[in-house]
Amino acid sequence: MKNHTPNDPSHLEDREKIAKGIRLLVNEGLINNAGHISYRPPGANWFWTLRHVHVGLEDIGPGDVIACDMEGNAIDSPWSASGERFIYTGIFARRPDVRAVAHFHPRMATVFSIAGRKVEPVLMLGAHIGNVPQYEKPEPVESSADGLSLADALGDARAALMRSHGAVTVGESVEEVCALAVMLEESARSQFQAAQIGEVKPIDTKGSEAVFEGSFRHFQEVLWDHYRQSGIATKPFLATSP
């Protein structure tokens, strides 16, 4: 069992997963010069997150991941976390079930937020995301009050859009929030494209929740495995399209 202090060597795997997750989202076009992932180990009153950095995110490693307390203050590090660390303090405070949070800037899903349109469950692999609420304040989340407001907008959902800004996904693991992020953007792209040629017909998951969750979990595993294979990871798992 892991020690619940950040300086315990057993936490290296957690830091490596966060670094890999950030590189994955960079490669999938969801993080450009800003974005991050945080993870709260079970039983911990602190969390891991990316240090404040905006360049070279495609080469992030575990040494770039720092620990913060639940107020967003760095623990035993000369670095500080992102100014938007309050995304994580707010969500962790409101959602004890959440272990991981990703914040990213998906192009098409952000277009939906600007238009005030909901991203619907339109794909088999993405229907598990469910309802995607919207946080209406477009400014950066740089205070504890704003972090709590974002968490309130998120509610018990797995993802939320941030108007004219980006999105967050939440879950039990880094692997899960990365897969939710990729599939949220893919769902938005597919919904937009479908609307150009006809009526958008959302999937009704009622009564089949386990089926759609199983499909998503398979996608989650395949996506994470894709980035284990050298050479393949230079190409996004999902091809981007207009």
**Mean pLDDT calculated for residue range 32-42:** 93
CATH number for the segment(s) 9-231: 3.40.225.10
What pLDDT score was predicted for residue 78? 86
Rounded CA gap, 225 and 202, in Å? 29
Domain boundaries, given as residue ranges, for the chain: 9-231
Ramachandran quadrant class, 155 (left: phi over 0; alpha: psi -120 to 50; beta: rest): left
Residue 229 in this model has a pLDDT that exceeds 90: no
Indicate the pLDDT class of residue 1, thresholds 50, 70 and 90. Answer: very low
Residue 2 in this model has a pLDDT that exceeds 60: no
